[in-house]
Amino acid sequence: EPEVTQTPSHQVTQMGQEVILRCVPISNHLYFYWYRQILGQKVEFLVSFYNNEISEKSEIFDDQFSVERPDGSNFTLKIRSTKLEDSAMYFCASRLNSVISPLHFGNGTRLTVT
């Protein structure tokens, strides 16, 4: 069964550094998402992406964050200058279309900012 893949599984970075989290969504899916889960808290929406542009974003997704689909397969989340509070599990997800279809999630990247 096709799946969403994320790399790396764990990323450790120093505060102030830039990180790029990578995702390969399911190939025929059209909508792409990033969510995060801070330890012990709920899964929170960051951003959705469709037709090569951001379709929605949350308050968390400030100008330190950006997303890109540089080619036909990868979908990346960049954090320009990481803060301690950015430490979380970051999940990429994709869905076939926007009308009543579930999101399929990757296994996440654990980002640790020291």
Partner 1 sequence: DQQVKQNSPSLSVQEGRISILNCDYTNSMFDYFLWYKKYPAEGPTFLISISSIKDKNEDGRFTVFLNKSAKHLSLHIVPSQPGDSAVYFCAASPIQTGANNLFFGTGTRLTVIP
Interface residues toward partner 1, by CB under 8 A? 4, 6, 31, 33, 35, 41-45, 48, 50, 55-56, 58, 91, 93, 95, 98-100, 102-108
Burial-class residue 111 by CB neighbours within 10 Å (0-12, 13-18, 19+).
buried
- Report, in Å, the least distance between residue 28 CB and partner 1: 16
Q: In what order do the strands lie in the sheet with 75-79?
A: 5-7, 19-24, 75-79, 65-68
Nearer to partner 1, 17 or 107 (CB): 107
Report the C-alpha gap between 32 and 94 in whole angstroms: 4
- Report, in Å, the least distance between residue 64 CB and partner 1: 20
Nearer to partner 1, 28 or 41 (CB): 41
Place of tokens 């890109």: 68
Nearer to partner 1, 14 or 100 (CB): 100
- Report, in Å, the least distance between residue 9 CB and partner 1: 8
Nearer to partner 1, 61 or 86 (CB): 61
- Report, in Å, the least distance between residue 35 CB and partner 1: 8
Report the C-alpha gap between 73 and 61 in whole angstroms: 22
Report the C-alpha gap between 5 and 81 in whole angstroms: 24
